[in-house]
Copies of this chain bind each other. A is one copy, B any other.
Amino acid sequence: MSDDQRFGLARHVILKGPLKLDGGGVLAPVEIAYETYGTLNADTSNAILICHALTGDHHVASAHPRTGKPGWWTRMVGAGRPIDPARHFVICANVLGSCMGSSGPATIRTETGAPYAMSFPVITLRDMVRAQAMLLDHLGVATLEAAVGGSMGGMQVLEWAASFPDRVRAAVVIASAARHSAQNIAFHEVGRQAIMADPNWRGGDYYGRGDPPSAGLAVARMAAHITYLSEAGLHDKFGRKLQDRGEKGFGFDADFQVESYLRHQGISFVDRFDANSYLYITRAMDYFDLAEEHGGLLANAFKGTRTRFCLVSFDTDWLYPTGESRAIVHALNAAGAAASFVELSSPFGHDAFLLDVPQLFGVVDGFIRAGAR
């Protein structure tokens, strides 16, 4: 362990910046909430960056300060796990635009003393990754042993490999895609419209009023949550089972368990997430198109790369189906990159990357060990 205040749980740093943004503006300062686990070795060769998904945070393997729940990826990160603080120096940072301590719409703007709200600049996944690179500079990490992430985390990993090829020796991209499809954008747009239709949204200026657009955000979460699960998974878990009643109620209460479950997902989400952050991060995801950033050809994003890639998809994931991973592998092959790819079978749909799919951990463990120096 180190006395260095840069390392440990629940860290927060204010970097001077400025961070140049894809949208044309700059962000300064750049606040980043993050955690580190384990010890950076002498030649700084054992650092692994974990990139989190849309509504995730930096508490990858520590209890969430608001909900008290365990870290969101304790199956992947921890003692005896594929990413083990006994061997690795693990870094996880809250993404730009989020609401868990990194700069986002709820952040107080230095110039005004008030939250940015919708004056926060629209950011991209590449901007998120640039902020993470600034954090690595701050931490004294020049090169990552690996960057690892699922879903939007996987997109950041791809962006890392494309933007900073010399700083990532290995990239693990799980249940992800190199661009947001029309259907992906459509679902996000429904969520954004649900938030912006809530009168409590007030153009984003709801901070400090005690009445955030919870109803709209809950609807957004409900719609998104359906896309995280498989049809078969929903059927197995809920089917048409009724909730705490023997017969249909012939009303509009939650008759079915699946309704009750969805409502709970929506309601509990608003306690831990900020509606404006939801707008900004979904926008960043919709803007993501790695090929477009590289002249329209995805292989160009990986030209000359020496990064090793590991792609994992899940057969029941219809949000980022296997074809999306396959397209990335084709581009990697075209670029002559070292790439391994496996489609795993799971009943859990997109959420599989967060759940108990033992093969996933075997794949990631083997891949990371194979590159150990």
Which residues of A approach B to under 8 Å, CB–CB?
A: 22-24, 118, 121-122, 179-183, 185-187, 189-190, 192-194, 196-199, 215-216, 218-219, 222-223, 226, 229, 231, 234-235, 237-240, 248, 250-252, 254-256, 258-259, 262-263, 266, 279, 283, 286-287, 289, 292, 318
**What CA separation (Å) do A121 and B218 show in the bound complex?**
28
Which of B182, B216, B222 is the one whose CB lies under 8 Å from A189? Answer: B222
Oligomer: number of copies: 2
Closest to A259 in B: B189
Contacts of A180 in B (CB 8 A): 240
Interchain CA distance A197-B222 in the complex, whole Å: 13
Q: Contact partner of A219 among B197, B289, B318, CB < 8 A? A: B197
Q: A-side binding surface: helix, strand, loop or mixed?
A: helix
Please, how many angstroms separate the alpha-carbon atoms of A234 and B180 in the complex?
12
CB distance from A138 to the nearest CB of B (A): 27
B186 close to A259 (CB less than 8 A):
yes
Q: Is the CB of B189 within 8 A of A262?
A: yes
Q: Which residues of B contact A194 (CB under 8 A)?
A: 194, 197, 219
Which residue from chain B places its CB closest to the CB of A213 in the assembled complex?
B197
What's the minimum C-beta distance from A260 to chain B, rounded to whole angstroms? 9
Query: In the assembled complex, how far is the CB of residue A335 from the closest CB belonging to chain B, in whole angstroms?
Result: 22
Instruction: Output the least CB separation between A34 and chain B (Å).
Output: 26
By the criterion CB–CB under 8 Å, are A262 and B226 in contact? no
> Is there contact, CB below 8 Å, between B181 and A197?
no
Question: Given B118, B183, B239, which contacts A226 in the complex, CB threshold below 8 Å?
Answer: B183
* Contact A197-B218, Cβ < 8 Å, known A250-B24, A262-B189, A263-B189: yes
A144 to chain B, nearest CB (A): 29
User: Which residue on chain B has the smallest CB distance to residue A240?
Assistant: B289
Option from B181, B190, B215, B234 in Cβ contact (under 8 Å) with A186: B234
Contact, CB under 8 Å: A182 / B218 = no
* Interface hub of A24, A194, A198, A283 (most chain B Cβ within 10 A): A194
List of B residues within 8 angstroms of A24 by Cβ: 250
Chain B's nearest CB lies how many Å from the CB of A256? 5
Rounded to whole Å, the gap between the CB of A296 and the closest CB of chain B is 11
A253 shortest CB reach to chain B, Å = 11
30 contacts between A and B (CB under 8 A): A24-B250, A118-B252, A121-B250, A180-B240, A181-B231, A181-B235, A182-B234, A182-B235, A182-B239, A182-B240, A183-B226, A183-B234, A185-B240, A185-B259, A186-B258, A189-B254, A189-B259, A189-B263, A190-B219, A190-B226, A192-B252, A193-B218, A193-B219, A194-B197, A194-B219, A197-B198, A197-B218, A219-B219, A248-B287, A256-B286
Nearest CB in chain B: distance from A283 CB, A: 7
Chain B residues within an 8 Å CB radius of A222? 186, 189-190, 193
CA distance A263 to B190 in the complex (A): 9
Contact of A258 (CB < 8 Å), options: B122, B185, B254: B185
Bound state CA distance, A255 and B262, in angstroms? 29
